[in-house]
Amino acid sequence: MAEQPTKQKLWGGRFTGKTDPLMHAFNQSLKYDQRMHAADIRGSIAYAKSLTKVGILTPVEERKITEGLTAVGKEWESGQFEPAPDDEDIHTANERRLSELIGSLGGKLHTGRSRNDQVATDMRLWLLDEVTEIEAGLRALIRVMVERADKEKDYLMPGYTHLQRGQPIRWSHLLLSHAFSFASDLERLQQLIPRISVLPLGSGALAGNPFAVDREFLARELGFQSVAENSLWGVGDRDFVIEFLLWASLTTTHMSRMAEDFIIYSTAEFGFISLSDAYSTGSSIMPQKKNPDSLELLRGKSGRVFGNAAGFLMSYKGLPSTYNKDLQEDKEPLFDAVDTVSACFRIAEGVIGTLEVHPDRMRQALTMDVLATDLADYLVRKGIPFRETHHISGRAVALAESRKCQLNELSLQDFKSLSEKFGDDVHGVFDFEASVERRQSIGGPSRVMIDRQVRVLRAALDK
């Protein structure tokens, strides 16, 4: 049986009194940071290799430590790991269990290493793994939006400003507008990765490693893109956490705006879309209700995620250099934001993939007044300055309202009474499809531009 070390806290040599039990519970983070167990073991195995390279460990000792850490990892994966009362955090727990398995040799692993650089390394390793999954979820969401838009180009609907009907567009154009917001989020996430992928390990408590461990070797071993060049910064920096939280805040804000559109368009008053039963709930008192709870939760989660960002930013703002225990407050908001964003992407993908579109209701919402700008453009093509044509078109709208008729129901004489430039072809303006197709410039809702937007987004996804 391996020699059992004397039980004591990692920092216990200086202290002779007992820790207040309430303080121990207040200080403990294992209940939530245990989700970094695999990252912690990966970092420790790599660090053991670096200690062998500088002669602190022999190859045999390194092998025993690696085997022990691997066994600890398997206990976590199988659910057999049993935390001890004095395990403050995942780092303490893993090292304690390692020493139980291999004896006092386990105590060599911490040579030249501090929990300060260890926790910073674990968080970055853990987040890099999570970002890979988050990126995959975001790509899947964008893809289902793009594929749906490509198939539903025929559906025309009103475009809105101030929630008032403005001009005709395609349903695909609306869907792709949200997809482009998410594509920007994808780009920002990819740009964030190099700033997460910086190795703190080897920074020690604050003043660096005294045993000349090869930190570039550690970076290669753990897959980091670069090494923290300053040890004070390496242990105290949590900008990568804040950047991720702010990224998550903006991304869920985009999710919220899309959800708001779909909530409005799913109401009986609009009836443009219907949600699948799988993403709806009923009322406890009104049997007829079909509530868009999935969308409302997507909308609501943005506040939660932003709260995480704002809360930790306030904890971070007044800290002196290097590590302070306040930094323990980084984990719960980060973990919660990762879980929330990941779930949001999966739910949104399901909602969009299964919702039913009602193109007839969209068409019915198109009234001739949404072609008032097209009427002004008609006169522009006759040589009249737009500011004048805007006024003339507005007078035509007012005339139709006074007659209680649609704009296209005005006679040629009615139009001529407003401007002699109106000709027999004026009624050709009142065609929703033609209006949309006239918008051929990049960014417009015409078919050729929808096709272009689809190509651009597919190319972004294929990068």
Please count the other Cβ atoms lying within 10 Å of the Cβ belonging to residue 248.
Answer: 28
**pLDDT band with cut points at 50, 70 and 90 for residue 10:** low
Specify the CATH superfamily of domain 116-364: Fumarase/aspartase (Central domain) (1.20.200.10)
Cα 183 to Cα 180, 236, 253, 265: the distances in Å are 5, 32, 14, 23
Is residue 69 pLDDT above 80, yes or no?
A: yes
Residues of the chain with CATH 1.10.275.10: 12-111
| pLDDT value of position 17 | 60
Active site residue 283: yes
Please count the other Cβ atoms lying within 10 Å of the Cβ belonging to residue 237.
Answer: 21
CATH architecture of 12-111: Orthogonal Bundle (1.10)
Residue 391 sits at the vertex; the CA angle it makes with 389 and 394, to the nearest 5 degrees, is 110
Residues of the chain with CATH 1.20.200.10: 116-364
| pLDDT value of position 382 | 93
pLDDT in tens, 201-247: 999 999 999 999 999 999 999 999 999 999 999 999 999 999 999 99
Cα 342 to Cα 13, 196, 332, 336: the distances in Å are 43, 18, 15, 10
| pLDDT value of position 19 | 67
The DSSP bridge partners found for residue 169 are 157
Question: How far is 344 from 297, CA to CA, in rounded Å?
Answer: 9
Q: Which amino acid is at 197?
A: S
Q: Of 184, 226, 283, 321, which one is the catalytic site residue?
A: 283
| pLDDT value of position 11 | 45
Q: Of 162, 284, 402, 441, which one is the catalytic site residue?
A: 162
Is residue 14 pLDDT above 60, yes or no?
A: no
pLDDT in tens, 112-127: 999 999 999 999 999 9
Task: Map residue 169 onto helix, strand or coil.
Answer: strand
Active site residue 249: no
Please count the other Cβ atoms lying within 10 Å of the Cβ belonging to residue 425.
Answer: 9
Residue 170 sits at the vertex; the CA angle it makes with 165 and 173, to the nearest 5 degrees, is 100
pLDDT in tens, 265-315: 999 999 999 999 999 887 777 777 788 999 999 999 999 999 999 999 999
Comparison of pLDDT for 285 and 134, the residue scoring more: 134
